[in-house]
Amino acid sequence: MPPKIPSVLFKNGYPVPVLGLGTWNSPPGQVAQAVKDAIDVGYRHIDCAHVYENEHEVGAGIAAKIAQGTVKREDLFVTSKLWNTYHLPDLVRGALQVTLRNLNLNYLDLYLIHWPVAYREGDVLFPLRPDGKRVHFSDVDYVDTWPAMERLVDAGLVRNVGLSNFNVNQVQRVLNVARIGPATNQLECHPYLHQKELTEYCREQGVSVTAYSPLGSPARPWVKQDDPILMDDPVVGQLAKKHSKSAAQILIRYQLQLGHLVIPKSVTRGRIASNADVFGFELDADDLPLLASLERKGRICPESFSFGHPHHPFEEEFRKGRR
C-alpha cells in the first residue's frame, strides 16, 4: 500500500488531496475499473470532465466502492469541468446537472471552467466549421459565465469553483468580478512546460495550481513520431536511477515539490499504485534546477481548434514558439 495521500487547503479552507487520478484520454471500458483500483490503493481525488465522455464510467466506479463500504461520498474529492459550449450563463446549471447524473452524485467538490473560450451553444462538443479545422465560436465572455458558477456554490451543488487553462490576464479578469474566488487554475505543467509566470501569479493571488499531463501525456491522440518523450529524457532517467524510482514518480514528485496539486492519468492498477508512491522520498535541492533546465515551452495541449478565438489563452505564445 502506498503512503496515505496528504491534503492541503484551498484558500477558503476546503481540503483537497494533493494527488488525484486523471481520466482524460482513458480508454473507454477501462475507466470504471481504473477508478475502483485508484480508490483501493488510496486515491480520494478524481478529476473528470464532460468533454472526456466517460463520466458515466467514473460514476460507476465510485458507486461500486461506496456500495462496498470502501469509501463514503464525503471521503472523496471529485472535480469536473464546464465545457466550452455551455458558457452561456443560463446553460451552466443544466450542464452541471448532466455531469452530476452521469457521475451519480449530488454535488461536486470542484467545478472548473474548462477553457476560457466559448463555442457555439449546443450538444455538439466541437461544432466544426466547414474546413473541419476550427470550431464555430460563441461571443460569451467567461466573466459573464463566472457568476453562474458562483450560483452553483450558493445552491449547494458545488463546493468550490475554479478555472482551467486561463492565462494571467484572464485569471485577473475573473478575480476582478468574483464574489467567490477561483480555488484553482488547472494547467498543463511538466518539465518541458513550466508556465512559471502564470503559476507564480496564481500563487500570489491565492489560487492553487493543479498540474495536468505531468508525465508529458505520451499517449495523446495527436502525438507525432518525432515528438520528444518526456519520460525518456536522459535527465529524468538520471534522477530516476539516483532515487531508485520510476520516471513517472520523479515527474509527479517534481510537481508536488513545486507546490502543485497533480493529477496523473493511468488505467493500469500497477501504475496507478506506483504513481501514488511518491511521498516517501524527496528530490534534492540540486535535482530541481536540472528538471527546470528542461524547459522548452513544449505545450502539448494548445487547443488548436480554438485558434483565432479572442479568448484563446496561449495562441500567441504557441505561434511564437513555432516560428
* Domain-wise residue ranges, the chain: 14-320
pLDDT at 298: 85
316 confidence band (pLDDT: 50, 70, 90): confident
Q: HSE on the CB side for 311, CA within 13 Å? A: 23
The answer to whether domain 14-320 has CATH 2.40.30.10 is no
Question: pTM for this structure?
Answer: 0.96
Active site residue ranges: 52
Higher pLDDT, 97 or 3: 97
**Looking at 58-62, 129-133, 160-164, 314-318, which range is the least confident one?**
314-318
Cβ proximity of 146 and 123 under 8 Å? no
What integer is the mean pLDDT of 154-182? 98
Helices 31-40 and 269-276: angle between axes, nearest 10 degrees? 40
Q: Is 136 left (phi over 0), alpha (psi -120 to 50) or beta?
A: beta
What integer is the mean pLDDT of 70-78? 97
190 marked as part of a ligand binding site: no
pLDDT at 321: 53
| Per-state percent for the chain, helix, strand, coil, to nearest 5 | 40, 15, 45
Residue 27 to residue 266: CA distance in whole angstroms: 10
Residue 135 to residue 265: CA distance in whole angstroms: 27
pLDDT at 290: 98
pLDDT at 3: 59
What integer is the mean pLDDT of 159-170? 98
User: pLDDT tens-digit profile of 239-264?
Assistant: 999 999 999 999 999 999 999 999 99
pLDDT at 219: 65
Q: Is the pLDDT of residue 319 over 70?
A: no
132 confidence band (pLDDT: 50, 70, 90): confident
Name the residue type at position 57. Answer: E
Cβ proximity of 5 and 253 under 8 Å? no
Q: Is the pLDDT of residue 61 over 60?
A: yes
Query: How wide is the angle at C-alpha 109 spanned by C-alphas 64 and 314, nearest 5°?
Result: 115
What integer is the mean pLDDT of 202-223? 87
Report CA torsion sign: 223, 112, 314, 250: negative
> At CB < 8 A and 24+ separation, what contacts does 177-180 make?
177/143, 177/146, 177/147, 178/146, 178/150, 179/147, 179/150, 180/149, 180/150, 180/153
**Looking at 87-91, 144-148, 217-221, 229-233, which range is the least confident one?**
217-221
- R_g of the chain, CA atoms, integer Å: 19
Query: End-to-end CA distance of the chain, in Å?
Result: 48
User: What's the chain's average pLDDT?
Assistant: 94
Q: For 138, which DSSP code?
A: -
Strand partners of residue 164: 186
Q: Is the pLDDT of residue 104 over 90?
A: yes
pLDDT at 323: 41
Q: For 27, which DSSP code?
A: P
Give the rounded percent of residues in the chain with a pLDDT score beyond 90: 87
Name the residue type at position 295. Answer: E
pLDDT at 221: 65
